[in-house]
Chains A and B, each alone.
Chain A
Amino acid sequence: MIDFVLPIALGLFSLSLLMNLYRLLKGPDVLDRILGLDTLNINAIAVIVLAGIYMDSRLIFEAALLIALMGFVGTVAMSQYLVRGDVIE
């Protein structure tokens, strides 16, 4: 049953990645692009975990953890740069 559901879930997440990419390329404001990039990170984590189930290995979950960390730091740094003009004073 998992083998049946897994391609459907991967297809839905790929559709979400395409919609986030649309918002990232089109977004009228800079903040729309930042939000699209943040959502792209979160969906990429889910795609990595689904690929881990598909390959039946836990080796690539550290990469997902790293992407989560770097995505959060990047989002906060970009928002902070837009508010203050610099990140670390």
Chain B
Amino acid sequence: MTLPFWLEALIAALLLLGAIVAALGSLGLARMPDFYMRLHGPTKACTLGVGCTMLGSLLYFSFSGEGFSVQELLITLFLFVTAPVSAHMMARAALHRRVRPEEQTRLPPRGLDPSQEPESDSSGASQR
């Protein structure tokens, strides 16, 4: 492979940055105490990390002599369009199912105040 040095350094930096950011997002998914907090990690950090990895792969395959590589561009565009949509759907389903927020949440979602436990439980039971 006859890539110039600066391009190889750029690709390596993009791959490493993408892997680190995606690992941080998955760590947030594994360690956060609450569903509404856990939703933040993957939908933002993992999308950025996978986007960086795709950009590095696109540069690598575009400059290695086989012409412009379209698949990475398609995957990146598709991920960037669909990640907010799926996150919105999951958050809406969580509000509908009345998933409990954590105890110390300031301004919890309407009807999900942890201090009013029995009231919201009865309304949740009547909604099903």
Binding site for B on A (CB under 8 A): 1-2, 4-6, 8-10, 12-13, 15-17, 19-20, 22-23, 29-32, 34-36, 38-39, 42-43, 45-46, 49-50, 52-53, 56, 58, 61-62, 64-65, 68-69, 72, 75-76, 79-80, 82-83
Contacts and interface: CB of A to CB of B under 8 A. Distances in A.
Contacts of B69: 58, 61
Q: DSSP class of A's interface residues: helix, strand, loop or mixed?
A: helix
A34 B72 contact: no
A54 to B, nearest CB: 11
Interface of B: 8-9, 11-12, 15-16, 18-20, 22-23, 25-27, 29-30, 35, 38-39, 42, 46-47, 49-50, 53-54, 57, 60-61, 64, 66, 69, 71-72, 74-75, 78-79, 82-83, 85-86, 89-90, 92-94, 96-97, 99
Contact of B19 (A8, A32, A34): A8
A2 B60 contact: yes
A59 to B, nearest CB: 10
A1 B9 CA distance: 7
B22 A43 contact: yes
B4 to A, nearest CB: 12
Q: Across chains A and B, which 10 residue pairs bring their CB atoms closest together, nearest first? A: A16-B26, A61-B71, A9-B19, A12-B19, A39-B42, A79-B89, A19-B30, A5-B12, A79-B93, A19-B26
A46 B82 CA distance: 16
